[in-house]
Amino acid sequence: MEKILITGCAGFIGFHLCKKLLNLGYVIVGLDNINDYYDINLKYDRLKELGIHRSEAEKENNLVESSTFSKFSFIRLNLEDRENLPNLFKVQNFDYVINLAAQAGVRYSLENPMAYVDSNLVGFVNVLECCRHNKIKHLVYASSSSVYGENDKIPFCENDQVDQPVSLYAATKKANELMAHTYSHLYKLPTSGLRFFTVYGPWGRPDMAPMLFADAMTNNREIKVFNNGEMSRDFTYIDDIVEGIIVTLNHPNKDDFYQLFNIGNGSPVSLLYFIECMENSLGLKANKKMLPMQAGDVVRTWADTTLLNELGYKCIVPIETGVSKFVEWFSDYTNE
């Protein structure tokens, strides 16, 4: 049975991906450092869903078996750990690696740049080195739509010029793509970078719009609407994202060893319509506070998903359905 290392498994996308691949029968080792960028209780609750008790998950460098999934185990570890990460690779004999661990967030990169250097740069090189020395069949890693910056051409395409990032977070993701290219070229290591477009859904991040809006609206607070609402995002439901990752995992580039894919809905939604969907699902009216554009942010994102579509990827969850499913989860989770 093939074994996959999934880094960032206590994160939003990593959690959902673990559940899906476990249900497909893969052996999964999940890794996360459980940093406090956002509420760690949410991360521990995700791990609990995967059968990992908090008291065990809190221990550093401790591989613990799931009480729910016989083929899942978890280890708390930093990507930049140059001793314990290589040891984990050596002992576990992974077939594949899906690297979703990273310091996330555009705005936070303005406040704490070194966190991005440690995790997204030093940590990613450590992953690449481990993959090289352990003959990993395919490394799939998270990039971001933020690499497109203030790209004027729409929709965004993988061969667009992306040399003007407008945040440090975006710059680190562009750097990941360059480093992966180097390792693919030098060592014939198959790598696939995924430029994620605004992912949302149950168990989502509390620093992103769906959770921020739902929390404010249910507690009768204002929601912050930047650029006076004149923004649009290629909102992509989590189930569609997970399917895209699995499609990519099953299609390494066996010729050039390196590839990049946009992974999004391919159909941008205005921020104001997204808020309207939230209002309809919650049965509440939003009290909108209109604000100017934030530093490091962009007006719109729009994915050209042609390359991934050719491998069999297809987005099937409309925004109305996705928001409804998110709100259903949010209501259950916050009322527990």
Which residues form the catalytic set? 169
CA-nearest of 113, 86, 150 to 298 is 150
263, 194 Cβ separation under 8 angstroms: yes
Tell whether the torsion through CA atoms of 198, 308, 135 and 71 is positive or negative.
Answer: positive
Q: How many Å apart are CA 143 and CA 174, to the nearest integer? A: 7
Cα-Cα end-to-end distance for the chain: 37
DSSP class of residue 60 equals B
Extract the tokens encoding 155.
């929709």
Asked whether the beta carbons of 199 and 144 are under 8 A apart, the reply is no
Q: Where do the H-state alpha helices sit in the chain?
A: 12-23, 40-49, 54-57, 84-92, 113-116, 123-133, 168-187, 209-218, 238-249, 271-282, 306-309, 319-334
Exposure on the CB side of residue 97, measured as CA atoms within 13 A:
30
Host H or E run for residue 138: strand 138-142
DSSP conformation class of 292: P
Helix (H/G/I), strand (E/B), else coil: 269: strand
